[in-house]
Amino acid sequence: MQIKEHFRSHLLSLQNTICTALEQCDGKAKFKEDIWERPGGGGGKTRVMANGNVFEKAGVNFSQVDGVVTPAMKTQLQLSGHYFYATGVSLVLHPSNPFVPTVHANYRYFELYNQHHQVVDAWFGGGADLTPYYLWEEDARHFHGVLKNTCDEFDSSFYPLFKKECDRYFVNKHRNNECRGIGGIFFDHLRGDEIRSIDFYRLFTQTVAEAFLPAYLPIVHKRQLLSFTKDNKYWQEIRRGRYTEFNLVHDRGTLFGLKTNGRTESILMSLPPTVRFDYAYEPAAGSPEYELQKICEMPRDWV
Amino acid sequence: MQIKEHFRSHLLSLQNTICTALEQCDGKAKFKEDIWERPGGGGGKTRVMANGNVFEKAGVNFSQVDGVVTPAMKTQLQLSGHYFYATGVSLVLHPSNPFVPTVHANYRYFELYNQHHQVVDAWFGGGADLTPYYLWEEDARHFHGVLKNTCDEFDSSFYPLFKKECDRYFVNKHRNNECRGIGGIFFDHLRGDEIRSIDFYRLFTQTVAEAFLPAYLPIVHKRQLLSFTKDNKYWQEIRRGRYTEFNLVHDRGTLFGLKTNGRTESILMSLPPTVRFDYAYEPAAGSPEYELQKICEMPRDWV
């Protein structure tokens, strides 16, 4: 089986596994599926659930698109082939309880072809990152720990490298370089070379994708029943404002999708369900909200 | 008096007039003023009020900045001088009652200088546009009518031209070219020439700026006491999502400010106080919400 078919079939099964686990965890909401086609080639399977016991809004999207490399793709993604193929699963979960963190993950594979449809480049990318509104350090250590252990099975240099990439990417530059959350891992352009085949990176990407549920769900179970106040919810909505700003102003995937006629509703499923934008909001010094903000201002090592 | 001093002093007085009228209209909230300095030169006077009887969030900002034209300005604004001067008033009002429209207005003046600090270019820009959540056609006719009458005092070609510019600019391209609202006027690069001096355009810009209150306030008075339901508020928050998308993805002023180290809190005062992002939200066919959406999909002539 070709790499892309192998990975694609893993992604479809991953989408099912994750959706089943999330529905089970939620106990109330069910995913609604929208199957869509892309005019230029390919399409996707978007799954969103809303207003659950645990998840206020959750999207787990599969897509597989292919076609001609457009001028916009050349400029924005710096791609040099004639045709492309891209497949991935992308998920964003927004819990309603402010003590349960928001999480994002994405696993993808890209192929580029010349005018004779021969593969000229191919790579894997992906990652997972956590955005808490209140922080228990044990949760941060757990999330990063699972990702590190999984990376270490492949190469002990991966976790430190991909953790740093993540801290560099999810940054609101217009907010004094404040990070969106407490990070995780982020990797891109993992290509086969003389030492390691592209299949090594396929296996790596699939394995970290499978680590998503064990990295995240135990944190949900621990925090989902904690009772919270209106003030806690208010703070969550303020921070969701920062999430919205990052996704709409800085996120390359979102902007690329929106500017190249991607399926808007699938791309913007990442936006939080309810959001507040207050002028010059500042949490009281020393409060748990203030502590969370300080943590986002300066990425730390968690494991 | 130089053009820029003349206009700057008009803007400061305009900011006072508008803030006084809005406080009077609101009857509860008061503007809070933040005076700030720009590291590269100049600064501003940001005024925001929140949680009033009428206005959930309202910002009326003055700024006057100057300095060296940076590479980012060259690229994003296509400016070719060595030094610049820019002054303007920018306002966004988000009423809490969904039957009262959101409004945005901006009036600005730009000068460019060569390395010997001689003026090489100068122009006025600005406009005002309305974003209703429910539409009374008489309100649209009133708003556009006041702007048209004001424009007509100067040149009968202005209103149709600037109305079209407005309809072209405030568009969510990623939402099938849906307009942000029902428009108004938008003009830029109004330069003096052999027929009309730059002072003609200063007077024009000041005069349309003075038309802002009579264009908007009568609509507020008419609608502010209408009682509304949770569903009306829900719809307002969904449409505020579109407002957020436009401002963060497409608005040149916002993006330019954020990417060139502008004062983030002053720039983002434009974002609505509370917002919802639902997946694939669609109003029921034939409902007033649906009608509003249809109107935004296809700009109309109102006068």
3-state secondary structure of A163: helix
Task: State pLDDT tens for residues B196-246.
Answer: 999 999 999 999 999 999 999 999 999 999 999 999 999 999 999 999 999
B16 is a domain residue: yes
Is B50 part of the contact surface with chain A (CB cutoff 8 Å)? yes
pTM beyond 0.95, yes or no: yes
Instruction: Give the closest residue to A256 by CA, choosing from A63, A110, A73.
Output: A73
Cα–Cα distances in angstroms (integers) from residue B198 to residues A114, B33, B103, B265, in the given order: 55, 32, 28, 32
Mean pLDDT of chain B: 96
Does the pLDDT at position A77 exceed 80?
no
Are A94 and A218 spatial neighbours (Cβ–Cβ below 8 Å)?
A: no
Q: Which of residues 185-244 of A touch B (CB under 8 A)?
A: 237, 241, 244
Is B248 part of the contact surface with chain A (CB cutoff 8 Å)? yes
The beta-strand segments (E) located in chain A are: 32-37, 42-50, 55-68, 83-95, 102-113, 119-131, 171-172, 178-179, 183-190, 274-276
Instruction: Give the C-alpha separation, B282 to A295, whole Å.
Output: 39
Contact B277 A278 (CB under 8 A): no
Residue A75 binned pLDDT confidence (cut-offs 50, 70, 90):
confident
A15 is a domain residue: yes
Does the pLDDT at position A74 exceed 90?
no
Does the pLDDT at position A1 exceed 80?
no
Q: How far is B265 from chain A (nearest CA, A)?
A: 6
Does the pLDDT at position B247 exceed 80?
yes
Task: State pLDDT tens for residues B65-110.
Answer: 999 998 888 887 778 899 999 999 999 999 999 999 999 999 999 9
What is the tally of structural domains in chain A?
A: 1
Is A39 part of the contact surface with chain B (CB cutoff 8 Å)? no
Is B168 part of the contact surface with chain A (CB cutoff 8 Å)? no
Instruction: Give the closest residue to B127 by CA, choosing from B57, B190, B44, B63.
Output: B190
Are B125 and B204 spatial neighbours (Cβ–Cβ below 8 Å)?
A: no
Residues of A noted as catalytic: 104
Does the pLDDT at position A80 exceed 90?
no
Give φ, ψ of A76 to 5 degrees.
-80, -35
Chain A residues in contact with B258 by the CB 8 A cut-off are 173-174, 249
Is A75 part of the contact surface with chain B (CB cutoff 8 Å)? no
The reported pLDDT for the residue numbered A116 is 96
The reported pLDDT for the residue numbered A41 is 92
A127 is a domain residue: yes
Which of B62-76, B139-153, B166-180 shows the lowest mean pLDDT across its residues? Answer: B62-76
Residue A72 binned pLDDT confidence (cut-offs 50, 70, 90):
confident
Give the mean pLDDT of B142-150.
98
Instruction: Give the C-alpha separation, B70 to B86, whole Å.
Output: 14
Q: Which residue of B has its CA nearest to A257?
A: B174
Are B263 and B46 spatial neighbours (Cβ–Cβ below 8 Å)?
A: yes
The reported pLDDT for the residue numbered A33 is 98
- Helices first, then strands: H and E counts in chain A: 10, 10
Does the pLDDT at position B193 exceed 90?
yes
The reported pLDDT for the residue numbered A23 is 98
ipTM of the complex: 0.97
Virtual torsion, Cα B209, B211, B214, B219, nearest 10 deg: -70
Chain B residues in contact with A268 by the CB 8 A cut-off are 245, 277
CATH number at residue A44: 3.40.1500.10
B303 is a domain residue: no
Task: State pLDDT tens for residues B27-41.
Answer: 999 999 999 999 989
A302 is a domain residue: no
Cα–Cα distances in angstroms (integers) from residue B275 to residues A264, B79, B94, B111, B280, in the given order: 18, 35, 11, 37, 15
Percent residues over pLDDT 70 in chain A: 100
Task: State pLDDT tens for residues A261-302.
Answer: 889 999 999 999 999 999 999 999 999 999 999 999 999 999
Beta bridge partners of A104: A92, A129
The reported pLDDT for the residue numbered A210 is 98
The reported pLDDT for the residue numbered B259 is 82
Domain enclosing residue B25, as ranges: 3-276+285-297
Q: How many residues does chain A have?
A: 303
B47 is a domain residue: yes
Helix or strand run (H / E) with residue A34: strand A32-37
Q: Residue B105: what residue type?
A: A
Q: Which residue of B has its CA nearest to A261?
A: B174
Does the pLDDT at position B134 exceed 80?
yes
Are B303 and B145 spatial neighbours (Cβ–Cβ below 8 Å)?
A: yes
Does the pLDDT at position B3 exceed 90?
yes
Catalytic residue among B6, B82, B94, B104: B104
The reported pLDDT for the residue numbered B203 is 98
Percent residues over pLDDT 70 in chain B: 100
Task: State pLDDT tens for residues A88-140.
Answer: 999 999 999 999 999 999 999 999 999 999 999 999 999 999 999 999 999 99
Contact A278 B273 (CB under 8 A): yes
Contact A249 B272 (CB under 8 A): no
Contact A271 B241 (CB under 8 A): yes
Give per-residue burial for A168-207: e unless 16+ CB within 10 Å, then b: ebbbbebbeebbbbbbbbbbeebebeeeeebebbbbbbbe
Beta bridge partners of B57: B50, B94
Is A276 part of the contact surface with chain B (CB cutoff 8 Å)? yes
B302 is a domain residue: no
- Report angle CA A86, A91, A92 to the nearest 5 degrees: 140
Give the mean pLDDT of B116-121.
95
Instruction: Give the C-alpha separation, B75 to B80, whole Å.
Output: 9
